Structures are given as structure tokens and as C-alpha cells.
């Protein structure tokens, strides 16, 4: 959800709450004002009727509401002296509506020429259910109007105010630490945006410096390690050619050479893993994995035949994906090599290519630990594994938003790459 819509949703919820409270208060106040107004009108009508009855005694005998809005009935002095004006709501049959409608009634008592009378005066009133209905729909329209106003303000006024922020987001989205060293910030008069631009500028410069330093250190360290390792291996190979060495010394020399070669492979693997995590493989192209797997299968043909392993490549669809071709080769080659190295001799490895998936299966005795499977330095049973093959494949998959899954069923290890 965008920031402007996020704030609008909060405004909408707050408005519902505030308008609901306001509606209740407004309804009570309006109803109270209506009753006050009607009661004042009834009191005035009562005075006019009493004054008119003093001039026209025939009105004192009017005891029905048929021809007016009042009735007068005789009463005792005892009742009249204790009687106080009373206002109340009641219902009266209205012929035009053919139904009972609410009216406001004033009941009072007065004295005329020594006789006491009770008077009832009525007036029509607003039905509360109609008032509530009208108020409800008025509030709905008010709420809709306010929300539309807020949306218009967000889209025109607030969007203009937040323009530097969105410009900064677009610049950060396009920023590539491998190619760019800085981004251009738009001018703004808002102090908070100026401060944000300054902080991000400092952060990016520091990140670029750290990235460059780390990249140079890794490259230099790898280069410096490779040189003495290569020299040591060459010297030991020359020494091994000396026939004057005893068998035990030759065996020790062979162990040293194996460890140095393993150290060389480990150094290259760590350098590769670091380059992947630092996104130093920027060139991307559309990779055809069908052709790539066939090439890799040919390269591993000697390894497979040495252990009498048959590799079946099954193509159910053509799979293409945009990524670095070098990393695509490493991703698939590591998984296939892992299957060839850890499957029993004289068995089969199945590679199946789908439209959005690659499946690699090989025989096994027991499942691997999925929690540590893709962690670094988790070597298999064979001594030539440096424990980084699957970690490198996982790093490549994460780099391109791919998913590597592992499953073990029916004595089959299954690795799937989901594109």
C-alpha cells in the first residue's frame, strides 16, 4: 500500500469514529431544540386559546380535536389547583395519513369566571425514525464527500509535497553499487527531505567505499594466496620426481600436495561465493537451460563413466531464464556434480527439465539435514568436497530470486530449482 493511501485509510477510520460521535451529539441537540421549540409553541397556543375562550364561551365546550388542535373539559378546583403544565409525546390518528402519527401534547388547567377547566393543546412533530433516517443519509453523503476531498488533496496537493521523496525512491531503485558511485538528489524546501537526502548521500558513499575496499581485498587476498600455493605445489611436484625419496616420504609428500590442491580449490570457491554475494556478476542474458545441461552432462561424462553412472536428461519443455550465463552454469553444475559424487556406483541420475523447473534425482541411503544442507562447509563423505558447492548454488539462486528445494522419498534425493 502506498504511503498516501495508507494515511487516507487512517483518515477514513478516524472520520467514521468522529462522525459517529458527532451524529449522536447532534441528534440529541437537534431533538432537544425541536422539543423546546414545540413546547414554546404549545405554551403560546394555550395562552391564545384561553384568551379566545374568555371572549367566546362556546369554546369551553369543545371536547374533541375534530375542528382544531385543542380541547377543553371541565375539572374540579382541587384537581386544577394541584395541576402543573405537562408536556408529552403521544399518538393521534391522522385522516390524511390514515395512520397514527406522533404529536406533542400540552396539558394544563385554567380558571374562567369561577369555573375550572383542563385544556389539551397538540401540534404535529417530526417522527424520530424519519429524523434518524435523514440524519444517517446526510452523514453518509458527508463522509463520502470528505473522503473524496481527502483523496483529491492527496493526489494533487500532498503528491506535489511528497514529490522529492518519490524522486529519491526512484533514484535508489535505479542505483547500482557496481556501476554508480552517487545519485542526484532533487532540490526541495522541506527540511526533513533535505536531511533525508544528506543522510542517504553519506550512507551511499560509505557503502560504495566499503564495497570497493572489500572487493579489492578479496581480489588481492585471493591473488596473493594463489601465487604461493602454486609455487608450493610446483616445488613439491618437482621434489616428488626425485627418485631418491623413500616410499614413506613420497606418501607424506602426496598428502601435502592433496591438501594444498584442496586449499587452492577452497580459495577459488570462497572468492566465487564472495563475488556472488557482492553482485559482481552484472552481465545478464537469456540462458537456455536445455542446451546448458546437455553441455554440462558432456563435461561430466568421464566422471559418470568412472563410477558406472548413467545420466538421463529428460526434456519435457524448453526452459529459458534471464541471468548471468556463468552463474547459471555454476548453479546447475554444482547440483549435478553433487548428485554424481554422492550416488552409489552403477546407478542412475535423472535430470528432468520443465517449463519453470529443473529436477535432479539420485539414489541415497538416508536423507540429508535440510537445516544445514545449504550451509557453508558441510562436506559429504568424499574427501574432495570442500563443503561449498551447495552453498554457492543457494547464493546464486537467492541472487536471481530462484528457489532450491530438497526432498527425500523412496531412497531418492531430489533437488528442484524453481524459476
Does position 40 have pLDDT exceeding 50, yes or no? Answer: yes
How would residue 380 be classed by pLDDT, with cut points 50, 70 and 90?
A: very low
Closest CA to 37 of 90, 84, 104: 104
* DSSP-assigned letter for residue 96: T
Closest CA to 292 of 321, 268, 271: 321
Q: Are 121 and 70 in contact (CB under 8 A)?
A: yes
User: Which CATH number is correct for 3-148, 3.30.450, 3.40.1130, 3.40.50, 3.10.450?
Assistant: 3.30.450
pLDDT score for 279: 65
Alpha-carbon span 13 to 188, nearest angstrom: 32
Q: Are 322 and 286 in contact (CB under 8 A)?
A: yes
Alpha-carbon span 288 to 358, nearest angstrom: 12
Give the whole-number percent of the chain exceeding pLDDT 90.
18
How would residue 37 be classed by pLDDT, with cut points 50, 70 and 90?
A: confident
104 burial via Cβ count (<10 Å: 0-12, 13-18, 19+)? buried
How would residue 378 be classed by pLDDT, with cut points 50, 70 and 90?
A: low
Does position 383 have pLDDT exceeding 50, yes or no? Answer: no
285-418 architecture in CATH? Answer: 2-Layer Sandwich (3.30)
- Segment 316-343 shows an average pLDDT of 90
168-to-4, 22, 132, 174, 193 alpha-carbon distances in Å: 16, 41, 50, 10, 9
Per the model's pLDDT, the better-predicted residue between 267 and 109 turns out to be 109
pLDDT score for 193: 82
Strand stretches in 302-396, DSSP E: 310-315, 320-323, 348-353, 357-363
CA atoms within 13 A on the CB side of 399: 24
Closest CA to 398 of 333, 336, 327, 318: 327
Alpha-carbon span 387 to 384, nearest angstrom: 9
Per the model's pLDDT, the better-predicted residue between 318 and 266 turns out to be 318
24-to-132, 144, 329 alpha-carbon distances in Å: 10, 19, 70
Helices vs strands, H then E, count in the chain: 11, 11
Does position 94 have pLDDT exceeding 80, yes or no? Answer: no
135 burial via Cβ count (<10 Å: 0-12, 13-18, 19+)? middle
Does position 59 have pLDDT exceeding 50, yes or no? Answer: yes
- Segment 142-155 shows an average pLDDT of 80
Does position 354 have pLDDT exceeding 70, yes or no? Answer: yes
Alpha-carbon span 235 to 229, nearest angstrom: 10
Report CA 327 to chain centroid distance, whole Å.
31
28-32, 180-184, 186-190, 233-237 — most confident range: 28-32
114 CB neighbour count, 10 Å cutoff: 6
Closest CA to 107 of 78, 75, 77: 75
The pTM of the whole model exceeds 0.75:
no
Dig out the grid coordinates for 29 from the structure. Answer: 441537540
pLDDT score for 314: 93
Phi and psi torsions of 383, nearest 5°: -70, -25
pLDDT score for 262: 72
137 CB neighbour count, 10 Å cutoff: 10
349 CB neighbour count, 10 Å cutoff: 22
pLDDT score for 264: 76
Q: What is the mean pLDDT of the chain?
A: 82
Q: What are 357-366's pLDDT values in tens digits?
A: 999 999 988 8
Amino acid at each position: 500500500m502506498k504511503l498516501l493511501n495508507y494515511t487516507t485509510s487512517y483518515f477514513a477510520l478516524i472520520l467514521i469514529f468522529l462522525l459517529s460521535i458527532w451524529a449522536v451529539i447532534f441528534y440529541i441537540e437537534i431533538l432537544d431544540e425541536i422539543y423546546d421549540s414545540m413546547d414554546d409553541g404549545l405554551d403560546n397556543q394555550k395562552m391564545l386559546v384561553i384568551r379566545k375562550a374568555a371572549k367566546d364561551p362556546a369554546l369551553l365546550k369543545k371536547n374533541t380535536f375534530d375542528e382544531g388542535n385543542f380541547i377543553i373539559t371541565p375539572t374540579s378546583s382541587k384537581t386544577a389547583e394541584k395541576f402543573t403544565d405537562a408536556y408529552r409525546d403521544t399518538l393521534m390518528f391522522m385522516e390524511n395519513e390514515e395512520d397514527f402519527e406522533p404529536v406533542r401534547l400540552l396539558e394544563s388547567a385554567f380558571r374562567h369566571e369561577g369555573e375550572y377547566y383542563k385544556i389539551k393543546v397538540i401540534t404535529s412533530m417530526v417522527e424520530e425514525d424519519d429524523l434518524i433516517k435523514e440524519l444517517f443519509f446526510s452523514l453518509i453523503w458527508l463522509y463520502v464527500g470528505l473522503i473524496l476531498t481527502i483523496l483529491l488533496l492527496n493526489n494533487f496537493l500532498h503528491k506535489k509535497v511528497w514529490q522529492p521523496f518519490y524522486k529519491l525512491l526512484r533514484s535508489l531503485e535505479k542505483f547500482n553499487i557496481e556501476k554508480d558511485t552517487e545519485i542526484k538528489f532533487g532540490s526541495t524546501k522541506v527540511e526533513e527531505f533535505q536531511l533525508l537526502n544528506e543522510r542517504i548521500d553519506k550512507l551511499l558513499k560509505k557503502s560504495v567505499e566499503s564495497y570497493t575496499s572489500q572487493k579489492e581485498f578479496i581480489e588481492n587476498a585471493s591473488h596473493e594466496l594463489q601465487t604461493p600455493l602454486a609455487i608450493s605445489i610446483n616445488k613439491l611436484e618437482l621434489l616428488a620426481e626425485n627418485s631418491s625419496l623413500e616410499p614413506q616420504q613420497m606418501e607424506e609428500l602426496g598428502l601435502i600436495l592433496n591438501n594444498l590442491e584442496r586449499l587452492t580449490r577452497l580459495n577459488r570457491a570462497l572468492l566465487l561465493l564472495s563475488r556472488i554475494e557482492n553482485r559482481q556478476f552484472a552481465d545478464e542474458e537469456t540462458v537456455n537451460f536445455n542446451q546448458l545441461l546437455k553441455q554440462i552432462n558432456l563435461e561430466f561424462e568421464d566422471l559418470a563413466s568412472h563410477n558406472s553412472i548413467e545420466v538421463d536428461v529428460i526434456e519435457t519443455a524448453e526452459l529459458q531464464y534471464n541471468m548471468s550465463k556463468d552463474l547459471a552454469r555454476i548453479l546447475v553444475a554444482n547440483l549435478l556434480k553433487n548428485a554424481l559424487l554422492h550416488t552409489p556406483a552403477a546407478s542412475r541420475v535423472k535430470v528432468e527439465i520443465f517449463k519453470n523447473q529443473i529436477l535432479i534425482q539420485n539414489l541415497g541411503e538416508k536423507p540429508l539435514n535440510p537445516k544445514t544442507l545449504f550451509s557453508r562447509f558441510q562436506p559429504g563423505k568424499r574427501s574432495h568436497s570442500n563443503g561449498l558447492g551447495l552453498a554457492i548454488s543457494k547464493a546464486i539462486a537467492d541472487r536471481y530470486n530462484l528457489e532450491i528445494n530438497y526432498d527425500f522419498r523412496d531412497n531418492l534425493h531430489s533437488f528442484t530449482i524453481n524459476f
